[in-house]
């Protein structure tokens, strides 16, 4: 089993213990909560209702006494109210009660409460006040005292029952706490024991492996005791340690043999490196002569390539300039075509604008005619108002002459005169507005006529510009065609020059290649000569390193 699985099992056991303790605590807390809920929600309410019954029993007795002493009907009404309240409280207690003995006591109190109500009603049937008082003292008051006494006893019994419930809850809490403490102590002890066993199981083989690692670090590769019974990762680690020790032992054996062979080979290499260095010096002298002649030929070829490159670059710039001019000319022609189309569209829009302005001028003329007609009508209304004012004035004079018989007519004449004055004022205001409108219509008509003349001039100017754009468009088309022909010819010449330049560059490249290779050979011979010297020195150094390696390998203790 792996270490991870062992740890998982340990943690799972601890988790199971925690879950068991938590479940036990939860069940006990639910039981405790139910008990407290019963105390608070049922028993406390029942006790409160019993207190109400006590109070209402006393209130009934006092209210009936008050009625007998004072004859106050309100006291009698309070008695009936207290009786009803006591009955309702007893009914609530009866619904919540689950004890047969308590239910019997409650039913007895309900009977007594009903008997008090019935007895009180029967006593009131007597006509003599003295007889009513005697009956109340003999029959009603003893019943009321009996109810009060029974209610007191029942309340005391319920209070004792509640106190017993509280004591039971406290005992349950103490029992739960005791059980939880015991469970926690047991779980803690089990966890500590499991941790100790797990640590001991893991630490012993690790100590053995640590000692083995220290032995290897000290250079001792002899077999050591790594027997581990664990079948987990620690057991695999012990096997790997033993394999590593064995592999290192074999490696040191091989290194020792290789160091001896290396020492012998380095001595032989030193002797052969000296002979190779002498031959390389003769080869370097011959290669140097070939290099000097190749450099002279390469310089002449480079000058020819430079001249051809300059000529090809000039032709390439001419071709590029011709192509750029052709592109610009084509773009200009496209812009001229677009501008020509926009100009034609503008001519159409100006014509539409001219027609709209002419229509507006005709409509303004009609408005001017209508305003003149309205002005004439307003003058007629003003004249009618003046005539009506004169007629109302004459009517008022005639009414004044008629005396009392003409008073009503005088009032009508006065109202007519006021109406004619208001009509005259309104007509004058309308006439002033019409006059202002006529002036504005006249100004707008002149403005519109001026706009018509300006639109005619604009149409003529745009048509002339359209003709000029047509001529420019034709000329641009011819220019673009000629420029494109020049650009094509320039590109052909440039392509020919590039082919010539490529041929010359190929010749120069071959010459440079030859020169470069001879230089490379010369440099290579020089480098080879230097390498031979370095090889000789390295062989001597390698011989010394082989001796050092042999000494280092001898530090390890092997079987």
Q: What is the pLDDT of residue 98?
A: 76
Does residue 223 form part of some domain? no
**Where does a domain end: 206, 233, 262?**
206
Do 319 and 423 sit in the same domain of this protein?
A: yes
Do 107 and 25 sit in the same domain of this protein?
A: yes
Place of tokens 């033993």: 242
Do 380 and 462 sit in the same domain of this protein?
A: yes
Do 158 and 299 sit in the same domain of this protein?
A: no
Do 186 and 266 sit in the same domain of this protein?
A: no
Do 190 and 314 sit in the same domain of this protein?
A: no
Domain around 87: 3-206
Nearest Cα to 288, choosing from 529, 525, 511, 514? Answer: 525
Residue 452 sits in a domain whose CATH number is 1.10.287.950
Does residue 35 form part of some domain? yes
Q: Give the separation between CA 74 and CA 60, rounded to whole angstroms.
A: 12
E-strand ranges in 129-236 read none
Residue 194 sits in a domain whose CATH number is 1.20.120.1730
3-state secondary structure of 219: coil
Q: Give the separation between CA 133 and CA 65, rounded to whole angstroms.
A: 9
Does residue 471 form part of some domain? yes
Name 159's bridge partners: none
Q: Give the separation between CA 316 and CA 323, rounded to whole angstroms.
A: 10
What does each C-alpha distance from 3 to 9, 12, 202, 233, 242 come to in angstroms?
10, 14, 9, 7, 21
For the chain, how big is the Rg over CA atoms in Å? 66
Do 262 and 186 sit in the same domain of this protein?
A: no
Do 202 and 258 sit in the same domain of this protein?
A: no
Q: Give the separation between CA 389 and CA 383, rounded to whole angstroms.
A: 10
Does residue 233 form part of some domain? no
Does residue 119 form part of some domain? yes
Instruction: Output the tens digit of pLDDT for each of the chain's 559 residues.
Output: 666 676 677 778 778 878 887 887 778 777 766 665 655 666 777 778 888 888 888 888 888 788 777 778 888 888 889 889 988 988 888 888 777 888 888 888 888 888 888 888 888 787 777 777 787 788 888 888 888 888 888 878 778 877 887 787 788 778 888 888 888 888 888 878 877 777 777 677 777 777 777 777 777 767 766 666 667 677 677 777 677 777 777 777 777 777 677 667 666 666 665 665 565 566 556 556 646 655 665 665 566 567 656 656 765 765 676 577 567 757 766 775 776 676 677 667 767 766 776 786 677 677 778 767 777 877 787 788 778 778 777 877 877 777 777 777 677 777 777 877 787 787 788 778 777 877 877 777 777 677 667 667 766 766 776 676 576 567 657 766 776 775 676 567 567 656 756 765 675 676 567 566 656 755 765 776 676 577 667 667 766 776 776 676 666 666 6
96 CB-near residues (< 8 Å, 6+ apart)? 42, 45, 46
Does residue 143 form part of some domain? yes
Does residue 71 form part of some domain? yes
Does residue 131 form part of some domain? yes
**Where does a domain end: 206, 225, 260?**
206
Do 382 and 263 sit in the same domain of this protein?
A: yes
What does each C-alpha distance from 26 to 16, 20, 167, 171, 186 come to in angstroms?
15, 10, 21, 17, 19
CB 140 within 8 A of CB 182: no
Do 383 and 481 sit in the same domain of this protein?
A: yes
Number of domains into which the chain is organized: 2
**Where does a domain end: 172, 206, 240?**
206
């Amino acid at each position: 089993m792996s270490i991870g699985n062992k740890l998982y099992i340990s943690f799972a056991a601890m988790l199971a213990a925690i879950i068991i303790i938590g479940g036990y605590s939860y069940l006990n807390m639910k039981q405790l909560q139910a008990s407290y809920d019963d105390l608070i929600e049922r028993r406390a309410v029942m006790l409160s209702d019993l207190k109400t019954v006590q109070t209402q029993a006393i209130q009934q007795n006092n209210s009936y006494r008050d009625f007998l002493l004072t004859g106050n009907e309100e006291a009698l009404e309070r008695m009936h109210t207290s009786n009803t309240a006591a009955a309702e409280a007893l009914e609530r207690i009866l619904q919540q009660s689950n004890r047969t003995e308590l239910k019997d006591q409650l039913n007895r109190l309900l009977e007594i409460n009903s008997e008090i109500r019935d007895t009180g009603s029967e006593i009131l049937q007597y006509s003599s006040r003295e007889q009513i008082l005697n009956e109340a003292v003999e029959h009603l008051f003893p019943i009321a005292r009996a109810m009060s006494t029974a209610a007191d006893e029942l309340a005391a019994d319920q209070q004792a029952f509640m106190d017993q419930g509280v004591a039971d809850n406290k005992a349950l809490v103490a029992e739960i706490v005791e059980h939880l403490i015991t469970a926690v102590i047991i779980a803690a002890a089990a966890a500590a024991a499991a941790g100790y066993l797990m640590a001991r199981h893991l630490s012993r083989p690790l100590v053995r492996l640590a000692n083995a690692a220290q032995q290897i670090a000290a250079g001792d590769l002899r077999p050591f005791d790594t027997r581990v019974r664990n079948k987990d990762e620690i057991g695999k680690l012990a096997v790997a340690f033993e394999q590593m020790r064995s592999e290192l032992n074999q490696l040191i054996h091989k290194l020792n043999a290789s160091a001896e062979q290396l020492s012998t080979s380095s001595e032989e290499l030193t002797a052969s490196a000296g002979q190779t260095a002498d031959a390389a010096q003769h080869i370097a002298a011959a290669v140097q002569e070939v290099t000097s002649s190749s450099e002279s030929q390469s310089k002449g070829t480079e000058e020819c390539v430079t001249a051809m490159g300059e000529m090809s670059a000039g032709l390439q710039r001419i071709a590029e300039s011709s192509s750029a001019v052709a592109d610009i000319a084509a773009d200009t022609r496209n812009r001229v075509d677009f501008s020509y189309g926009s100009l034609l569209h503008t001519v159409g829009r100006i014509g539409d604008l001219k027609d709209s302005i002419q229509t507006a001028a005709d409509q303004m003329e009609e408005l001017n005619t209508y305003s003149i007609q309205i002005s004439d009508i307003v003058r007629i209304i003003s004249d009618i108002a003046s005539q009506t004012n004169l007629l109302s004035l004459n009517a008022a004079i005639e009414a004044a002459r008629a005396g009392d018989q003409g008073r009503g007519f005088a009032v009508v004449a006065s109202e007519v005169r006021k109406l004619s004055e208001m009509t005259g004022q309104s007509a004058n205001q309308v006439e002033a507005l019409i006059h202002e409108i006529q002036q504005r219509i006249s100004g707008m008509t002149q403005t519109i006529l001026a706009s018509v003349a300006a639109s005619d001039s604009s149409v003529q100017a745009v048509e002339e510009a359209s003709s000029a754009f047509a001529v420019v468009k034709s000329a641009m088309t011819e220019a673009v065609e000629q420029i494109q022909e020049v650009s094509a010819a320039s590109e052909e010449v440039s392509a020919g020059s590039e082919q010539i330049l490529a041929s010359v560059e190929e010749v120069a490249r071959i010459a440079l290649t030859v020169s470069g290779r001879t230089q490379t050979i010369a440099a290579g011979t020089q480098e080879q000569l230097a390498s031979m010297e370095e090889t000789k020195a390295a062989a001597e150094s390698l011989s010394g390193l082989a001796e050092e390696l042999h000494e280092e390998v001898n530090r390890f203790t092997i079987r």
